[in-house]
Amino acid sequence: MILCGGENLIDLVEEADSSPRRFRAVPGGSPYNCALALGRLGVPTGYLTPISADGFGDDLAARLVAEGVRHLGSRPAAPSALAVVTLRHGTPEYFFHRAGTADRLVTTESLAAAIPETTVALHLGSLALTAGVDALAWEGLFIAQARAGRFTALDPNIRPDLARVDEAAYRARLETMAAAAALIRLSDEDMAWWLPGMSVAAGMAALAARAPSALVFVTQGAGPILCRGPFGGFSLDCAPVPRLADTVGAGDTLMAALLAGLWRRGMLDRAAVSALDETALRPVVADATRAAAITCGRIGCDPPCASELWPGGSVRPQAAIR
């Protein structure tokens, strides 16, 4: 089983050209979206984060269950987190409301107790790592799982406005987690914030030095995805998007497809990844960009299912990987 942890929230998205303003409620959150995408790709998936018992929480939980994702967290009475997305001259602006929300009610002990023995990988990232007691709990879980030999994946999905809450601690947390990661996925915008003044190539080299046995992927919008690992590095053009709808959830889908691709090939293992070469990794990355392209052709985070990405192909990995 692959586990995902981090925030879940409701995106209140402003409808274009509405007066007075009207908003559409959409379940979201980067790690939540990744869990959803993994479920659709046929991977045994668990989601660790608590989900509110309010009406929005019911929507969040129901969507996971519909995609075969096992919710391993609690359902507390605290409210759901909200992200209000307004449009200014067509450009989205995000305002997050996460004080006292259900998804933040975690401790290192509660998280560790929820992890099944069948877990082979843990993916964390995004808002849950920025600040607070919950960020410390997620960091502690990530380090402990890496030390236990499990595959650990990190997608920081950096939001500079939230990062300012306790920037020094946040930067230190990312450094510590990167050093324990088997896979790191970030955008060129994440890289510019995390390692200011460095070129993307120099930043990738710096991350590779922190985690020499890890795979590092940097996305550049519609530009080529950059890949680096113990074998060296390469770039790969992204799959084309015939008709762009929006980019919501594209990065989360790509992350899920990378994990699913390694899982299908029996390579979701720290030792196996450290021995990968470019020839073995290229098809995994190519499939992941196709998954992201499919999502970009749909409104909202609507990832592909396994049959769309691998028509007629088995989603069963080697027997050793569950």
Summarised one tens digit per residue, pLDDT across range 77-131 is: 999 999 998 877 656 678 899 999 999 999 999 999 999 999 999 999 999 999 9
pLDDT over threshold 80, residue 141: yes
Query: Residues 164-169: what's their mean pLDDT?
Result: 94
Asked if 315 contacts 42 with a C-beta cutoff of 8 angstroms, the reply is yes
Annotation: CATH topology of 2-13+23-309: UDP-N-acetylmuramoyl-L-alanine:D-glutamate ligase (3.40.1190)
Query: Residues 25-51: what's their mean pLDDT?
Result: 96
Parse the chain into domains and list their residue ranges: 2-13+23-309
Looking at residue 322, what is its pLDDT?
35
pLDDT over threshold 90, residue 40: yes
Summarised one tens digit per residue, pLDDT across range 244-274 is: 877 788 899 999 999 999 999 999 999 998 8
Query: Residues 28-49: what's their mean pLDDT?
Result: 97
- Sheet containing strand 215-220, strands side by side: 70-71, 45-47, 2-5, 121-125, 151-155, 183-187, 215-220, 223-229, 232-236
pLDDT over threshold 60, residue 64: yes
Q: Which amino acid is at 253?
A: T
Summarised one tens digit per residue, pLDDT across range 214-252 is: 999 999 988 999 999 999 999 999 998 888 877 788 899
Query: What span, in angstroms and rounded, lies between the C-alpha atoms of 99 and 121?
Result: 29
pLDDT band per the 50, 70, 90 thresholds, residue 319:
very low
Q: Taking every pair of C-alpha atoms in the chain, what is the biggest distance, in angstroms?
A: 57
Query: What span, in angstroms and rounded, lies between the C-alpha atoms of 200 and 204?
Result: 6
pTM over 0.85: yes
Looking at residue 116, what is its pLDDT?
96
pLDDT over threshold 80, residue 176: yes
